[in-house]
């Protein structure tokens, strides 16, 4: 197993594509479709995922809100986060990096590219 990846994405088709491609690359995958559920999962997890693929536009807490909370909690230091979003404006990208994202991918994207970027971070 290459590691455990948390995919936080509310579009079922996108999360299925990411899960499939990550599993082929020998990753264990957990999919969550809501920012609030993401927090519940992280707070209850005995072991944190090795990385997170995070959509910005989510029900509940949005991806930027998730990043803000990650930055305020020492427990999550060092967990790479890649934002995957349809929000590609320069201000959105800058905000994502300012909030601590390790990478920013704009939809539509290549699933193979996502895996390559993830491999680089890990």
Structural domains for the chain: 3-102 (3.40.50.2300)
User: Per DSSP, what are the bridge partners of residue 84?
Assistant: 105
User: Per DSSP, what are the bridge partners of residue 83?
Assistant: 54, 104
Q: Say what the pLDDT of residue 5 is.
A: 98
pLDDT digits (tens, 9 = 90+) for 47-60: 999 999 999 999 99
Q: Say what the pLDDT of residue 36 is.
A: 97
Contact 47, 72 (CB under 8 A): no
Spatial distance between the Cα atoms of 107 and 84, rounded to a whole number of angstroms: 7
Q: Say what the pLDDT of residue 27 is.
A: 97
Mean pLDDT of the region 63-82: 94
Strand 51-54, strand 103-106: pairing: unpaired
pTM for the complete prediction?
Answer: 0.95
Position 116 pLDDT exceeds 80: yes
Mean pLDDT of the region 11-16: 97
Position 1 pLDDT exceeds 80: no
Helix (H, G, I), strand (E, B) or coil at 58: coil
Closest CA to 81 of 25, 2, 7: 7
Spatial distance between the Cα atoms of 114 and 13, rounded to a whole number of angstroms: 15
Spatial distance between the Cα atoms of 52 and 29, rounded to a whole number of angstroms: 10
Using pLDDT thresholds of 50, 70 and 90, give the confidence band for residue 2.
confident
């Amino acid at each position: 197993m290459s590691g455990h990846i948390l995919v936080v994405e509310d579009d079922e088709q996108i999360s299925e594509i990411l899960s499939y491609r990550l599993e082929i690359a020998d990753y264990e995958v957990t999919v969550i479709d809501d920012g609030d559920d993401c927090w519940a999962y992280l707070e209850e997890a005995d072991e944190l995922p090795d990385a997170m693929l995070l959509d910005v536009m989510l029900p509940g807490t949005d991806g930027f809100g998730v990043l803000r909370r990650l930055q305020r909690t020492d427990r999550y230091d060092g967990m790479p986060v890649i934002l995957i979003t349809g929000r590609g404006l320069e201000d959105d990208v800058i905000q994502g990096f300012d909030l601590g994202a390790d990478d920013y991918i704009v939809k539509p994207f290549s699933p193979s590219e996502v895996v390559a970027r993830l491999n680089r971070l890990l």
